């Protein structure tokens, strides 16, 4: 874990090294001041030597200024190192997430990734700044103060040892009790973020079903769980400060009592100035221990965050380019040869696709129909290698998809997924996700094929109309047509519509299919649909059932030979609607 995170220091290694050096110098300058303070009392005030007082006072001022300067420089470089480290962590995580396949993404929840990129990184940033500054300053200050105290008077300095040992045992006990609660806190953050994300993204559904009270209660529960974990940890830690202060006060009383007795009785070679220095070092030692306790809490909390960040950074994409990838897809031929697929790679996992054997010629229009859970989407996701087959071979253009460069393959296999996503920006901006270099004319031509030009031109700003995040200011059917146009701009050899016209009326659906047939005859077209009339004009129709191909043929052939297809056709022409009896058209 430490090695994984340490790689992200990069250009901030220098600042990370300089910071502790400045902190050490600050401690050295600060630790000399109490010694000089005692000397002023012993050699200046008690002897009435004003010159000694002025000279030593000037030296103390110089040391204080040097301590201030080195402390400020330590803070500046420490902040630069910590914030830069956090920046690199966020960037590295985000970049790694972009390489994930669908199976990698399935391992993490969206809310969990958001928490890791925000809260967890902030925790690590704060802890790292503490490590390179206070983790150096506090123990170094305590050690030097202890050495100086023993140099002045070993008998009184032994009182420090007793106090330090007591506080160390106490703090270790408190921290061990509190840590089990802190380690659970970040899981509660995930629950909280998930509640917020679901509510905001689905706010229209929440309001449509008048479920605000339910969502408020759900958020309140997640928030209270987080609050409860923090309270339990903080109740334990609450004993730390009073105990620290009490120990400091008792130690000062003990030193004052023993020191005063030694001065009055003239035993042990202690004078008033030495006692003043010892009291100052007492505060330094115990305050350093207090800082170490606070730092221990922060670092302990950040360990859970660091582990979660390392999980994302160490996650390797299971779909990567081969060593010598094929850089050209010759045509839109697709061959499934004994293909099997399971979402889980663990032994004994059930396959969602089994014994798929299919040859699709370049330029063919293929319809796929089947019930919910028949693995229609799983089948087409393999073509653009969003997932890898777990058995058999899948070829595109006569080449195994695992031998292609991923970018080349996905540029030639354009997929319009079930969940249509648009991004904030103009319509032009969204269309050019398909081809960033597309001209305005190419965008308009793609929109004509997708039957999107009519509603776009009806907007006051036309193609410059602003789309809200997620496409919330356009209808479901308009979103689908914009996504189809975006896919067409890639000019792919294979285009897959995964139930992408479900929110489009049947007349517009027919226009889109006709435009495909006339404008891109050489492109292989795969249409997944619930409605028979969306696929009945296809060259061939594949009937899926429980992860297997139940039948392949034209509309007329399947009506005669396939019972599933026949039942669906009769239910829909008889007024049923979609493939699933429960669900009507979107």
Q: Say whether pLDDT at 116 is over 60.
A: yes
Task: Supply the angle between the helices 121-132 and 134-152 in degrees, to the nearest 10.
Answer: 30
Q: pLDDT tens, 509-523?
A: 888 888 888 888 889
Q: pLDDT tens, 73-83?
A: 999 999 999 99
Helix (H, G, I), strand (E, B), or coil: what is residue 110?
Answer: helix
Q: Name the DSSP letter for residue 544.
A: E
Question: Which pTM was predicted?
Answer: 0.70
Q: Say whether pLDDT at 497 is over 50.
A: yes
* List of residues 6+ apart from 26 with CB closer than 8 A: 67, 70, 71, 74, 137
pLDDT given for residue 579 in this prediction: 46
436, 434, 412: which is closest to 327 by C-alpha?
A: 412
Q: Of 111-120, 237-246, 411-420, 533-542, which gets the smallest average pLDDT?
A: 237-246
Work out whether strand 391-396 and strand 334-341 pair parallel, antiparallel, or are unpaired: antiparallel
Q: Which two tokens stand for residue 428?
A: 């032009």
Query: Which whole-number Å values give the CA distances from 428 to 433, 442, 457, 485, 508, in the listed order?
Result: 9, 11, 13, 11, 22
Query: Which whole-number Å values give the CA distances from 584 to 502, 530, 531, 575, in the listed order?
Result: 10, 10, 10, 10
Helix (H, G, I), strand (E, B), or coil: what is residue 11?
Answer: helix
**497, 368 Cβ separation under 8 angstroms:** no
Q: pLDDT tens, 418-442?
A: 777 888 899 999 999 888 888 999 9
CA distance 298 to 135: 11
Helix (H, G, I), strand (E, B), or coil: what is residue 321?
Answer: coil
Helix (H, G, I), strand (E, B), or coil: what is residue 381?
Answer: helix
Burial class of residue 103 in the structure, from the number of CB atoms within 10 Å of its CB (0-12 exposed, 13-18 middle, 19+ buried) = middle
pLDDT given for residue 198 in this prediction: 75
Sign of the C-alpha dihedral, residues 140, 143, 147, 153?
Answer: positive
**171, 240 Cβ separation under 8 angstroms:** yes
What number of other Cβ atoms are within 10 A of residue 227's Cβ? Answer: 12
Q: What is the 3-state secondary structure (H, E, C) of 412-476?
A: HEEEECCCCCCCCEEHHHHHCCCCCCCCHHHHHHHHHHCCCHHHHHHCCCHHHCEECHHHCCCCH
pLDDT given for residue 577 in this prediction: 44
Q: pLDDT tens, 174-198?
A: 777 777 776 677 667 777 777 777 7
CA distance 403 to 322: 6
* First vs last C-alpha separation in the chain: 48
> Which residues are bridge partners to 415 per DSSP?
496
Which carries the bigger pLDDT value, residue 278 or residue 564?
564
* List of residues 6+ apart from 379 with CB closer than 8 A: 353, 356, 368, 544
Count of all residues that appear for the chain in the document: 586
Q: Say whether pLDDT at 576 is over 50.
A: no
pLDDT given for residue 347 in this prediction: 62
Q: What is the mean pLDDT of residues 200-209?
A: 76
What number of other Cβ atoms are within 10 A of residue 522's Cβ? Answer: 9
Burial class of residue 61 in the structure, from the number of CB atoms within 10 Å of its CB (0-12 exposed, 13-18 middle, 19+ buried) = exposed
Which carries the bigger pLDDT value, residue 180 or residue 161?
161
Residue 329: pLDDT band (50, 70, 90) is very high
Which domains are assigned to the chain? 2-314 (1.20.1560.10), 334-573 (3.40.50.300)
Q: pLDDT tens, 2-34?
A: 788 888 888 999 999 999 999 999 988 988 888
Residue 359: pLDDT band (50, 70, 90) is very high
Q: Which two tokens stand for residue 325?
A: 């990838």
**524, 353 Cβ separation under 8 angstroms:** no
| Cα 558 from chain centre | 48
pLDDT given for residue 575 in this prediction: 47
Residue 582: pLDDT band (50, 70, 90) is very low
> Which residues are bridge partners to 367 per DSSP?
527, 541
Q: What is the mean pLDDT of residues 198-219?
A: 79
Q: Say whether pLDDT at 69 is over 60.
A: yes
CA distance 81 to 158: 38
pLDDT given for residue 392 in this prediction: 93
Residues 287, 290, 291, 294, Cα dihedral to 10° = -160
Sign of the C-alpha dihedral, residues 139, 145, 147, 150?
Answer: negative
Q: pLDDT tens, 377-403?
A: 889 989 989 889 989 999 999 999 999
Q: Within 13 Å of residue 366, how many CA atoms lie on the same side as its CB?
A: 27
pLDDT given for residue 363 in this prediction: 92
CA distance 40 to 459: 84
CA distance 66 to 63: 5
Which carries the bigger pLDDT value, residue 266 or residue 27?
27
């Amino acid at each position: 874990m430490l090695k994984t995170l340490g790689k992200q220091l990069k250009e901030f290694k220098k600042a990370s090294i300089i910071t502790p050096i400045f902190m050490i110098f600050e401690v050295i300058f600060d630790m000399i001041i109490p010694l000089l303070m005692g000397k002023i009392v012993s050699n200046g005030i008690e002897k009435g030597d004003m010159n000694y007082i002025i000279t030593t006072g000037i030296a103390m001022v110089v040391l204080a200024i040097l301590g201030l300067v080195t402390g400020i420089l330590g803070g500046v470089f420490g902040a630069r190192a910590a914030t830069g480290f956090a920046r690199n962590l966020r960037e590295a995580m985000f970049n790694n997430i972009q390489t994930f396949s669908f199976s990698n993404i399935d391992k993490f929840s969206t809310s969990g990734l958001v928490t890791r990129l925000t809260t967890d990184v902030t925790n690590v940033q704060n802890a790292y700044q503490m490590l390179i500054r206070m983790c150096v300053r506090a123990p170094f200050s305590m050690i030097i103060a202890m050495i100086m105290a023993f140099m002045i008077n070993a008998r009184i300095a032994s009182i420090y040892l007793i106090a330090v040992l007591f506080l160390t045992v106490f703090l270790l006990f408190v921290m061990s009790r509190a840590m089990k609660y802190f380690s659970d806190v970040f899981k509660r953050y995930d629950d909280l973020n998930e509640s917020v994300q679901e509510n905001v993204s689905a706010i229209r559904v929440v309001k449509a079903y008048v479920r605000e009270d339910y969502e408020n209660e759900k958020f309140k529960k997640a928030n209270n769980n987080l609050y409860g974990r923090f309270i339990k940890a903080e109740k334990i830690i609450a004993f730390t400060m009073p105990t620290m202060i009490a120990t400091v006060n008792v130690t000062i009383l003990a030193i004052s009592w023993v020191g005063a007795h030694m001065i009055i009785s003239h035993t042990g070679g202690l004078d008033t100035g030495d006692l003043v220095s010892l009291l100052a070092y007492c505060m330094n030692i115990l305050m350093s221990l207090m800082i170490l306790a606070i730092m221990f809490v922060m670092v302990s909390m950040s360990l859970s965050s660091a582990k979660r960040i390392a999980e994302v950074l160490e996650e390797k994409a299971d779909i990567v380019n081969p060593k010598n990838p094929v850089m050209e897809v010759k045509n839109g031929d697709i061959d499934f040869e004994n293909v099997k697929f399971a979402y889980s790679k663990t032994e004994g996992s059930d396959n969602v696709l089994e014994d798929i054997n299919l040859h699709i010629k370049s330029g063919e229009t293929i319809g796929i129909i089947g019930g919910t859970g028949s693995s229609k989407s799983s089948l087409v996701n393999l073509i653009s290698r969003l997932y890898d087959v777990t058995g058999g071979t899948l070829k595109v253009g006569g080449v195994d998809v695992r031998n292609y460069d991923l970018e080349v393959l996905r540029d030639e296999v354009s997929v319009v997924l079930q969940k249509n996503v648009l991004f904030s920006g103009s319509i032009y901006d969204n269309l050019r996700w398909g081809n960033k270099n597309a001209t305005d004319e190419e965008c308009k031509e793609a929109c004509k094929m997708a039957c999107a030009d009519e509603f776009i031109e009806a907007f006051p700003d036309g193609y410059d109309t602003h789309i809200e995040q997620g496409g919330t200011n356009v209808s479901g059917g308009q979103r689908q047509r914009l996504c189809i146009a975006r896919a067409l701009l890639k000019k792919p050899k294979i285009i897959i519509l995964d139930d992408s016209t479900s929110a489009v009326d049947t007349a517009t659906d027919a226009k889109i299919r006709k435009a495909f047939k006339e404008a891109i005859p050489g492109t292989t077209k795969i249409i997944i649909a619930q409605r028979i009339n969306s696929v009945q004009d296809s060259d061939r129709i594949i009937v899926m059932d429980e992860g297997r191909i139940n039948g392949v043929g034209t509309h007329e052939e399947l009506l005669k030979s396939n019972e599933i297809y026949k039942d669906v056709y009769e239910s829909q022409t008889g007024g049923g609607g979609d493939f699933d009896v429960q669900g009507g058209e979107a």
